[in-house]
Amino acid sequence: MRSFRATWLAWLLSLTAADARAQLIEAPVGAIGGLLGGHHSVDPNRDSQSFESTIDLGGGYDRDPNVLLLATGEDAPDLTRWYAGNAAAAVRYRVGSLKRNLDIRARGYTNYQSNAGDSLYGGEGTVNGIARFGSRQQNPLTVELQSSWEPGWVFGAFGPTVDAGPEVPAVGVALPFGVFEQRWLITSGTAGYSHQWTPRHTTTVGYDNRRLRPIEGGGLESDWQVATAQQSWAMSPNLTLLGTYRFDSNVQREPQAEVRIDPVRYQTLDGGVRFEKRLSPIRRYSVTVRAGATRLLERSSTQGADGTHPSFNVSTELVPSRSLSVTTEYTRGVMVLAGVSPVPVVNDTAELSVNGSLTSRLRYSIFASGARADFLAPDSSQSNRTDVLGTSAELRYAFASWAAMFTTYGFYHHRIRDPLLAASGFPTRYDRHSFRVGITLWVPLYGTF
């Protein structure tokens, strides 16, 4: 389930634990071997390795009716609509066993827009390591390092979250939401440890540190840290009690500014329950409800604002068959628009995700999100409400185990009613429609898939 997900003003194309494009048609374990060797059965208790590559090629049409036109007249070019082309290549290397393993991923991509007559280039890399401890290897320690240069969209305007939940089986070829005319350099490091004291009692702690630097376009430098501690108690096979403490700290400033800015810091304490029912090895449903409060630590950026705000989260998951999964989530809480504004907001977000397959070759994914936020501005007379909408639809047809055609549609809208609350140069109103068609190629280089 996606938990406290950053949906607003920006989106990052996720790097999930398993590449959704690999094995375009599901096959038995060991049915596909690498072109360079390594085709043998995999023992999860012994070290093994795999190396694979993915290539995406696509093109389509974009439209933004709010583009600022610098030239007028009958001969002036129409910059509100354009054609675009995308190309991406990614590699992934995995080594280890169930007890200890390492996952290394790298990706490079380019985006060409006809109205700009130029291409934007970018790349990203991730190193993820897991070590499991205990007699039954049920205490995992996870460490991840990530660096990326985002040339085409705003990175996590709400700031990242530590616990994003299990991955959703999306098709994984849709463009990310957000403002495309931005460039950012992002580095991050995360660590988490989960200790199972008894079969019913588990403690999980985590730490996340991320740095965002604008390279081109409007934006603020942002340094963000969060620490969390969660307790879970399984009262029965179906019912679990949850309790979480979270501490956030965010510092934002104008690029190259030497004046020190007080960080925005806040603490969140909540509790709740999760009910999960398995009707079969495949069919299941679950409901999670959490409620608590967030306390802002008084700083110059929050002086005069209310110090305590309620937090709430309810999420559901329904998996009626192998070919369909539906998740929903509603969240209310305090957050900071990393790279956009130093003033924290109280945000309400609703999300819907539908993923499934019509046949063994045809997969689809639909995602929709809406958010409404209020800036906690010291001046109550400011018009501080912001609305955001985003949706994407993906369809992929695999004509081989290593190749598929795809088509995607995306829509994104945001409006910041008071321009003084956004970073200089950041658009206060933005609308974008994007349509793409293309092909995905998967190349197993070494190992068993």
- Residue 25 near residue 361 (C-beta atoms within 8 A): yes
Tell whether the model's pLDDT for residue 275 goes beyond 90: yes
Taking residues 208-212, what's their average pLDDT?
89
Taking residues 46-61, what's their average pLDDT?
89
Q: How many CB atoms lie within 10 A of CB 299?
A: 16
pLDDT attached to residue 51:
93
Tell whether the model's pLDDT for residue 272 goes beyond 60: yes
Distance CA 416, CA 419 (A): 6
pLDDT attached to residue 20:
38
pLDDT attached to residue 167:
35
Taking residues 35-63, what's their average pLDDT?
85
Burial of residue 327, with CB atoms counted within 10 A of its CB: 0-12 exposed, 13-18 middle, 19 or more buried: buried
pLDDT attached to residue 165:
28
Q: What is the mean pLDDT of the chain?
A: 79
Q: Of 153, 150, 86, which Cα lies nearest the Cα of 440? A: 86
Distance CA 258, CA 250 (A): 17
Distance CA 296, CA 262 (A): 13
pLDDT attached to residue 166:
30
Write the DSSP symbol of residue 157: T
Q: Where are the alpha helices (DSSP H) in 88-193?
A: none
pLDDT attached to residue 129:
95
Q: Residue type at 13?
A: L
Indicate the CATH number of 48-91+154-446 among 2.40.160, 1.10.287, 1.10.150, 3.40.50: 2.40.160
Least confident of 162-171, 260-269, 350-359: 162-171
Query: What are the pLDDT digits (tens) for 282-327?
Result: 999 999 999 999 998 876 656 666 788 999 999 999 999 989 999 9
Distance CA 14, CA 167 (A): 10
The CA distances from residue 299 to 173, 262, 302, in Å, are: 42, 6, 5
Tell whether the model's pLDDT for residue 198 goes beyond 60: yes
Burial of residue 293, with CB atoms counted within 10 A of its CB: 0-12 exposed, 13-18 middle, 19 or more buried: middle
385-400 vs 284-297, strand pairing mode: unpaired
pLDDT attached to residue 162:
27
pLDDT attached to residue 67:
63
Query: What are the pLDDT digits (tens) for 412-433?
Result: 887 877 776 666 666 777 788 8
Taking residues 366-372, what's their average pLDDT?
89
3-class state of residue 366 by DSSP = strand
pLDDT attached to residue 208:
92
Question: Over the Cα atoms of the chain, what is R_g?
Answer: 23
The helix or strand, by DSSP H or E, that contains position 420, with its residue range, turns out to be: none
Of 35 and 130, the one with more pLDDT: 130
The helix or strand, by DSSP H or E, that contains position 443, with its residue range, turns out to be: strand 429-446
What are the extents of the domains in the chain? Answer: 48-91+154-446
pLDDT interval class at 134 (50, 70, 90): confident
- Threshold 0.85, pTM exceeds: no
Tell whether the model's pLDDT for residue 184 goes beyond 70: yes
pLDDT attached to residue 341:
76
Tell whether the model's pLDDT for residue 440 goes beyond 80: yes
